[in-house]
Structure 1
Amino acid sequence: MQEAGQPLKVGISIGDLSGIGCEIILKTFEDSRMLELCTPVIFAAAKTISRQKDALGIDLRFQGIGRVEQAVEGKINVVNVWKDSPEIPMGKASPESGAFAIKSLKAAVAALKSGAVDLLVTAPIDKKSVQSDAFKFPGHTDYLAQELEGESLMFMVTDTLKVGLLTDHVPVSQAPSMITPKLLEQKVVAMEKSLIQDFRIQRPRIAVLGINPHSGDEGVIGREDEDIMKPTLAKLAAAGHLVFGPYAADTFFASGNHEKFDAVLAGYHDQGLIPFKTLAFGKGVNFTAGLSQVRTSPDHGTAYDIAGKGIADPSSFREALFTGIRILRNRREFEALTSNPLKQQKLKRPPRKGSRKK
């Protein structure tokens, strides 16, 4: 855990070794000024990092350590999660590359849970290659929801655009049946809480997109918006939440309607991520909101088509790092201010020198 005055200790999972994860991590820390902002702790192996660094022609110094507690401020630290140096071909998914990605992720999450690192930034994984008897999750978000306390919300964010999902990595055919009044209430509350404590927005305004085309056209195109969305949103609004909708998704972003709100809650993956990535790709961050710890990730995948070519853009990973640090600082400040409001004021002012009690 970070002590007062020290840079935050950022745990970093390496992602798929066949993809661009290692490249964007190393390129981010080529800028030595990053070490003034944080102490990076990469969960992988020194031999693996050296091999990719040399192959990419990246000039970077780091130190290998056996335990996260040995991390040194002002240096790039690599925790040796495995000892061997696998020769994994670039640009191609494989069970082996997936297995190493999960070894890195599990070690990083364990360090996060124990307080050995302050927050987690994850490089991209391939959802197919990570599947095994030991890992049966469709992505980071679902695994973190199991490992950390709270109710997770997949939240894609930039400074000016924030889009959360009611359902995330599920088949589109199953999404409507999963959207219940309970789930909608849970996600709205999680989004509102995150906007307040993580982004310092005091009274957030949230727009909710309809499930069906044209929000169902009053039941002509499906009943979900009439039977689930509208009554639940009315209930939340009556309870004081600034939540609005359901809005027809096809014109919501094109008309600029999203600019009137602090965040947008979409019904399913592509309904939210297609407009988000169209407007913000390369600058966006995938933030797992609603949990007891902070985790962020770039807004792209493994990019096998350019892996190993040295042309990957680290901008989104760098933004994920900046955003994670900013969120954690905001959250800690919020917790300090709200944990005991009485501590924030003097209950009794001592009499001034020379004054007399009456």
Structure 2
Amino acid sequence: MSDKIKIGISIGDVNGIGPEIIIKTLAENRILDFFTPIVYGHTKITSFYRKTLGIQEFNFNVIADASQAHHKRANMINCWEEDVKIEPGQAGETGGKFAFQSLQRAMDDLLSGKIDALVTAPIDKHTIQNEEFRFPGHTEYIQSRVNASDSLMFMVGEDLRVGVVTGHVPVSEVASGITKESILSKLALMQQSLKTDFWIQKPRIAVLGLNPHAGDNGVIGKEELEIINPAIQAAKDAGIFAFGPYPADGFFANHTYKKFDAVLAMYHDQGLIPFKHIAFHNGVNFTAGLSVVRTSPDHGTGYDIAGKNLASETSFREAMFLAVKVVQRRRETADLTSNPLRIAKLSKDRD
């Protein structure tokens, strides 16, 4: 029995770039040295895209259950029996239906411990909606399946990590979602993830303001004075090294973010626009604060380039390696905390 980490991969929208970036990534044999991939989808889908990409030498090892995974092969679990009409670049019911079937089966295996982490290929948030998926995105669905009270959308790049207080909500509802309690909750999740998942023992977190110029002392909005400042102070009182609030525009332009281990933005676009500008193609979306590990690339379905052999697999590859690292770090942390003698030895060795 191999002790390699098993990474489950949901196929995403079958008419988007998900199948393409999965195939391009797993076709590189050296990647199998680091983990065992298990794709949840169907070989007919990947056969179609392999032909489109001109990748004929690569194929999947078909299994019925994750326990049967071959540790030196890319594995596939066929999640449906129907024939699927593949229409690259077309948003529709078909893409949403099979994206959900893949995600649901992968989540079942993640929750039962059959896989160690989940990497999700992009979905269409509109077409995936059904009776069992009434969520604005992966993050909220996975949080619900884990029965967690909160989670953190944490964008991770080589030089920048950004979390958001309000995630997939309309801009008109952002201000009402900014409360002292919600900011404190996200800061606590961010600090814990930085310590456990990234091994940063004393993380420094920058907090952005909500309003232009961080409110200019109440001239352009009161949220900084009445909500954000008190939340930062409460976080400091709780032992979290939080600083701010900083005006969002100049914070990224003058590279202030490089002085911190992570940044907490107030809403989605405030954090993700600069993140994608700085870390695009290498960035990863990590759902922090949960008992399970889930990552994804930092882009969407890419309908405009689907089936054209134009999609970059770089972000998807980074998402898989981040999932492996987080699982490894959590395991080692759990081992160390359960064995104080090991911690004492490591501390002595580092003196």
Q: Would the TM-score normalized by the shorter structure come out above 0.5?
A: yes
Runs of 4+ in 1 over 3 A off after TM superposition: 342-346
C-alpha distance in 2 between matches for 1:322 and 1:85: 32
How far has the Cα of 1:80 moved from its partner? 1.1
Partner of 1:53: 50
Q: How many residues align?
A: 343
1:62-81 correspondence to structure 2 within 5 Å: 62-81=60-79
Q: 1:111, 1:249 → 2: CA distance?
A: 40
Deviation at 1:94, TM superposition (A): 0.3
Q: State the secondary structure of the residue aligned to 2:29.
A: coil
Structure 2: which amino acid aligns with 1:58? I
**Pair 1:142 & 2:140 matched:** yes
Rounded Cα–Cα distance in structure 2 between residues aligned with 1:129 and 1:70: 32
Match of 1:43 in 2: 40
State the shift of 1:270 in Å. 0.3
* Structure 2: gaps of 5 or more residues: 346-351
Opposite residue 179 of structure 1, the aligned amino acid is I
CA distance in 1, matches of 2:342, 2:308: 55
Residue equivalent to 1:248? 247
1:206 CA displacement: 0.1
Whether contact under 8 Å (1:66, 1:79) holds in the other structure is yes
1:176 Cα deviation (Å)?
1.0
Q: RMSD of the alignment, in Å?
A: 1.4
What do residues 145-168 of structure 1 show as CA deviations (whole Å, max 9, x unaligned)? Answer: 101254310000013210001011
CA distance in 2, matches of 1:221, 1:140: 34
Which residue is equivalent to 1:324? 323
Give structure 1 stretches of 5+ with no counterpart. 347-358
Q: Distance in 2 between matches of 1:343 and 1:251?
A: 45
Aligned-pair CA distance for 1:215? 1.0
Task: Kindly state the Cα deviation for residue 251 of structure 1 after the two structures are TM-superposed.
Answer: 0.6
Q: In the alignment, is residue 277 of structure 1 matched against residue 276 of structure 2?
A: yes
Deviation per CA, 1:259-296, whole angstroms, max 9, x where unpaired? Answer: 11000000000000000001110010000000001101
Shift of 1:344: 4.8
The amino acid across from 1:288 in the alignment is T
Asked if 2 retains the 8 angstrom alpha-carbon contact of 1:296 and 1:323, the reply is yes
Q: What's 1:21 paired with?
A: 18
1:105 corresponds in structure 2 to 103
SS of structure 1 residue aligned to 2:234: helix
Q: What TM-score do the two structures reach when normalised by structure 1? A: 0.93
- The reply to whether residue 335 of structure 1 matches residue 334 of structure 2 is yes
* Structure 1 residue 61: Cα displacement: 1.8
Q: Distance in 1 between matches of 2:147 and 2:260?
A: 28
The 10-residue stretch of structure 1 (291-300 or 323-332) with the greater mean CA deviation from structure 2: 323-332
Q: Counterpart in 2 of 1:155?
A: 154
User: Which whole-Å CA distance do the structure 1 matches of 2:332 and 2:251 have between them?
Assistant: 34
Deviations 1:222-266 (A, max 9, x none): 111110000111121133211001111111000111011000000
5 Å-filtered alignment, 1:196-275, equals 196-275=195-274
Would you say the 8 A contact 1:288–1:294 is kept in 2? yes
Counterpart of 2:11, as a letter, is I
- Correspondence for 1:33: 30
- The share of aligned pairs that are identical, in percent, is 51
Deviates more, 1:334-343 or 1:193-202: 334-343
User: Does the Cα contact within 8 Å between 1:13 and 1:44 map onto a contact in 2?
Assistant: yes
Cross-structure match for 1:349 = none
Structure-1 separation of matches of 2:304 and 2:44: 24
Q: C-alpha distance in 2, partners of 1:22/1:263? A: 31
Deviations 1:107-153 (A, max 9, x none): 00110000100100000001111112221111000001101254310
1:291 counterpart SS class: coil
The separation in 1 between residues aligned to 2:344 and 2:115, in whole angstroms, is 32
Q: Distance in 2 between the 1:238 and 1:35 partners?
A: 45
Is the 2:91–2:124 Cα contact (8 Å) retained in structure 1? yes
Q: Say whether the 8 Å CA contact 2:337–2:343 is kept in structure 1.
A: no
My pick for the range that moved more, 110-119 or 236-245, is: 236-245
Paired position in structure 1 for 2:349: none
Once residues 37 and 195 of structure 1 are traced to their aligned partners in structure 2, the CA distance between those partners, rounded to angstroms, is 23
Choose between structure 1 and 2: higher helix proportion.
2
Amino acid corresponding to residue 39 of structure 1 in structure 2:
T
In structure 1, the residue matched to 2:178 is 179
Secondary structure class of the residue paired with 2:317 = helix
TM (norm. structure 2) is 0.95
Structure 2 partner of 1:353: none
